[in-house]
Amino acid sequence: MSYPDLQLYIDGAWRTTGDSLPVVNPVTEEEVGRVPVARTGDLDDALAAAERGFEVWSHTSPRERADMVRAASDLMRQRQDEIAHAITLEHGKPFQQARLEVIRGCEFFEWDAGEAVRTYGRVIPSAPGVRYVVHHQPIGPVAAFSPWNFPMSQPARKVAGAVASGCSIILKAAEETPAGALHIAKAFHDVGLPPGVLNVVFGVPADISSHLIPSQTVKLVAFTGSTAVGRHLTTMASSHMTPVLMELGGHAPVIVCEDTDVDEAAVSSAIRKTRNAGQVCTSPTRFFVHEQVYDHFLDVFTKRCAATVVGDGMDEATEMGPLANERRVPALSGFVADAVDAGAELMTGGKRIGDTGFFFEPTVLANVPDHARVMQEEPFGPLAIVNPVSSLDEAIACANSVPYGLAAYGFTNRADYADRMVEKVEAGNLSINTLEASLPETPFGGVKSSGYGREGGTEGLNHYTVVKNVSHAMKIV
């Protein structure tokens, strides 16, 4: 299996450009491919194609659209090994995890395809001869921006929502991990999606967003990435009051109550913390553990994190690959140095492994003071903070003390504790006694600086349609 030939996909055709960027294997630091850089003319072509594609696709029956999305998903399932192989090469995550990600991407397509045919309107009772009917119509061409941490499932969420709902889309996928988006385009191309409905571009992110977002063609901006970039794109979108769907950073708290099964909570949390090398917006990071069980939790959690098999994602035994790119290494080391300076205890990890590949040790910091930078900023890596608390109320106050509110977790078997978390924890997704934050059929997204809107579920699909209320007075004869 080889790494795919990377091209732009515009108006139903593949193209290269004069300029390209390297795609680097984070295990070997060697180039595995080159991704073309879109020029202004390519972006203009994509905008024009998306307008034409929208005209065709929004007038295609929902059933026909759903059939095509499902057919493309079937192809991606057939190609799962090939896609997962490319993702492991460019991102470093273990092959089995890459394969699960491909399957998750397919599930997004399949659920959205099934649900989009149920985009029902409603009839509102009124005076005789007058009818009020609410229609949901596809919103228009979408500009979407997907990040490098999940090369398949992140673009899949956006393409699935747009294409199943009858929109066209220009996807700017991550230049560092382009293979998933490329394979999505390939599958839709192979099943005969009309030209212009799906366009995939790569290049200089700021150049692309500043060209696409202010365009009058674009009717929705969907972005997943950091809060800082999301804020910038939202400001650009506001020039035409273009709606935005923003899935931004998180800094997930985990509340461990004294009544819980501590071993199970600690082991499952350590496994989840190191998944995707912690580069997940829902990664469990700030652990607030009741003082009665603190020492036991810290011991089991630290040992399981330290035992994580770190290595090349192509090796079957590997549980955690390298960080996805070079800049995450100093970012992680910086968080550790700052926390230790502030008085935190380094329980395990804390540094780069070797000098080839962007490997970083699973890291546990205990008793981290509030003024350490990592207490407020998302580390986005295999780093966890474990602090003691004396009550559930204190844990909830700590959980809510950051500007983020994406995922949050709690471990308890007490109904009153669980109920208090449901009432008080500030998060778009709260998981109790599980570390699963969402499914294709559930809404996923944040509150506070973690963003705006939801992906997944009927709530997610709603972003890709606009509501039109039609008042119709009929002549009674």
| Residue 119 token pair | 């985009």
Nearest CA-CA partner of 201 in 245, 154, 144, 246: 144
Residues 6+ apart with CB under 8 A from 25: 31, 32, 89, 90, 92
Cross-strand partners of 411: 256
Any catalytic annotation for residue 459? Answer: no
User: Position of tokens 């950073």?
Assistant: 249
Minimum CB separation from ligand NAD for residue 242, in Å?
Answer: 14
Whose Cβ is closer to ligand NAD: residue 166's or residue 453's?
453
Minimum CB separation from ligand NAD for residue 233, in Å?
Answer: 6
Q: Which residues bind ligand NAD (CB under 6 A)?
A: 145, 147-149, 174, 205-206, 209, 224-226, 228-229, 232-233, 247-249, 281, 327, 378, 380
Cross-strand partners of 292: none
Contact 342, 364 (CB under 8 A): no
Whose Cβ is closer to ligand NAD: residue 119's or residue 199's?
199
Whose Cβ is closer to ligand NAD: residue 52's or residue 104's?
104
Residue 272's SS3 state is: helix
* Percent of residues in the chain assigned helix, strand, coil, to nearest 5: 40, 20, 40
Any catalytic annotation for residue 394? Answer: no
Minimum CB separation from ligand NAD for residue 166, in Å?
Answer: 25
Instruction: Give the E-state strand segments of 315-366 in sequence order.
Output: 345-348, 363-366
Contact 144, 223 (CB under 8 A): yes
Whose Cβ is closer to ligand NAD: residue 210's or residue 471's?
210
Whose Cβ is closer to ligand NAD: residue 1's or residue 206's?
206
Minimum CB separation from ligand NAD for residue 424, in Å?
Answer: 24
Among 247, 378, 426, 455, which one carries the catalytic annotation? 247
Q: In angstroms, how far is the first alpha carbon of the chain from the final one?
A: 71
Which residue type occupies 224? T
Whose Cβ is closer to ligand NAD: residue 248's or residue 336's?
248
Q: Any idea what DSSP says for residue 360?
A: B
Report which secondary-structure segment, H or E, holds 69.
helix 62-78
Whose Cβ is closer to ligand NAD: residue 181's or residue 395's?
181
Nearest CA-CA partner of 281 in 323, 226, 354: 226
Quickly count: other Cβ atoms within 10 Å of residue 356's Cβ.
11
Minimum CB separation from ligand NAD for residue 337, in Å?
Answer: 17
**What is the rounded distance in angstroms from the CA atom of residue 140 to the CA atom of residue 137?**
9
**What is the rounded distance in angstroms from the CA atom of residue 128 to the CA atom of residue 3?**
65
**What is the rounded distance in angstroms from the CA atom of residue 109 to the CA atom of residue 73?**
6
Among 281, 305, 378, 426, which one carries the catalytic annotation? 281
Whose Cβ is closer to ligand NAD: residue 91's or residue 290's?
91
Whose Cβ is closer to ligand NAD: residue 206's or residue 470's?
206
Helices and strands, number each (H, E), in the chain: 14, 22
Which residue type occupies 86? A
Minimum CB separation from ligand NAD for residue 361, in Å?
Answer: 19
Query: DSSP per residue over 81-116, as a string?
Result: HHHHHHHHHHH---HHHHHHHHHHHHHHHHHHHHHH
Residues 6+ apart with CB under 8 A from 397: none
**What is the rounded distance in angstroms from the CA atom of residue 272 to the CA atom of residue 287?**
13
Name the residue number minimizing CB distance to ligand NAD.
225
Q: Pseudo-torsion of CA 95, 442, 145, 48, nearest 10°? A: 120
Active-site residue set: 247, 281
